[in-house]
Amino acid sequence: MPNVFKSEKLKSLLPYLIIAVAVVVAYKAINELTFFANAVNKTWRIISPFFYGFLLAYIINMPCNGIQRLLEKTKAKWVVKRKRALSIILVFIIIALLFSLVLNLVVPAVYGSVSYFIANFSSYYESALKFVDYVNSLDLFGIHISAESILEQLREMVQGFSLDDVSTSIKAIAGVSAAVFRGFLTFISSIYILHEKDKCKAYICRMLSAFLSSRTYGAVIRYIAKLNKNFKQYIYTQTIDGCMLGAIVTVELYILGSPYFLLLGIMLGIVNYIPYFGSIIGSLVAISVVAFTQGIMAGLITAAVLLVTQQIDANVIQPRLMGGSFSLSPFLIIVSITVGGAFAGVLGMIAAIPIVSVLKDMLESIIAHFERQKSDDAEGPQS
């Protein structure tokens, strides 16, 4: 009896069968889209603490490696044998000390700035009204700002507060407790990931080598190493640059007499992690605060000072820190940040540059391969 599964007729019908199954699966997936979305959200809630634990471990691993190299140079065998665990403990002790320093020095200063703002809110409000009247008097492009309509909208928002909002607040408080638990789980998982880093790395390499060919395995390892190097370089560069920029802006605003110099300096240092957009948004916020609290002239002076500072940072400090690690055009950087932000928010904007840099290298390698292949094909018939 002939095998019907090997018949030519059945083989010719196989593509149509695959298309029919794909159509049915797509139809069911569209109908059950809400179910799949809920399943994805539930899965993400379960694994998110471990994902963020991996990110925390990745960041903490950088100082851990430095301390571990120092411990390896000691002559004490007990220390060398336990160098990994000791490096993790020392890093967390340093983090705890820095956190305590922030709580004792920075937080009181920030609290004082916020209290000062609340105490002088009425005068700032009057300054804002005068600024609105000044803008309306200029009659630029027919723009007219109505302070009354803005106040009316705020009044409606306050009057619209109901018991539903109270229940929403209660749910938000419950969500905070769940977030605290997930944060604790993130912290614990990061410790285990740090301690088991070498074992996890060896197991992943073994798994990749088992399923991939030698050539593909080498390419994957090479690009993973490149991505790891890019991330480390980016985090190191943006951290150093953010600390320098925050310190410089803090001193500049203090000299200009802003009562919020420390708060604005810290804010500019933090948003500096987001390339291009972070410094622009931070500068606009700082200029607006100075303009409304110290006057328009002070705001203009602050704008000029921050513009010069940003140019020095972008053209002198960052290139020296980067060392040409990310040879991306400004347009590609802006597109990368926009796409990364659309997919993963702030985290996506921060991770966009290192990822796109590796993707660019991969694309250039593929193009170079096909160019060589085309050149070899062209030279073959001539010889």
Q: What is the CA radius of gyration of the chain?
A: 29
* Residue closest to 358 by CA, chosen among 261, 230, 208: 230
- The amino acid sitting at 260 is Y
Helix/strand number for the chain, H first, E second = 15, 0
Alpha carbon 313 to its chain centroid, in Å, reads 20
What residues have CB less than 8 Å from 56, skipping those under 6 apart?
186, 187, 190
Which pTM does this prediction carry? 0.68
Domain extents in the chain: 227-369
pLDDT value at position 304? Answer: 92
Cα–Cα distance measured from residue 289 to residue 256, given in angstroms and rounded to the nearest whole number: 13
For the stretch 231-250, pLDDT in tens is 888 888 888 888 888 899 99
Cα–Cα distance measured from residue 268 to residue 16, given in angstroms and rounded to the nearest whole number: 59
Cα–Cα distance measured from residue 326 to residue 311, given in angstroms and rounded to the nearest whole number: 18
pLDDT value at position 163? Answer: 47
- pLDDT, averaged per 10 consecutive residues of the chain (383 residues), comes to 54 70 73 70 83 87 87 82 86 89 81 79 74 69 64 59 50 63 85 84 87 85 87 85 90 88 88 81 88 84 90 78 66 80 79 83 83 75 54
* Residue closest to 282 by CA, chosen among 325, 321, 250: 250
Tokens describing residue 286: 């700082």
Cα–Cα distance measured from residue 59 to residue 359, given in angstroms and rounded to the nearest whole number: 22
* Cβ neighbours, 10 Å, residue 339: 14
Cα–Cα distance measured from residue 277 to residue 273, given in angstroms and rounded to the nearest whole number: 10
Contact assessment for residue 91 and residue 60, using Cβ atoms and an 8 Å cutoff: yes
Output the furthest CA–CA distance in the chain (Å, rounded): 97
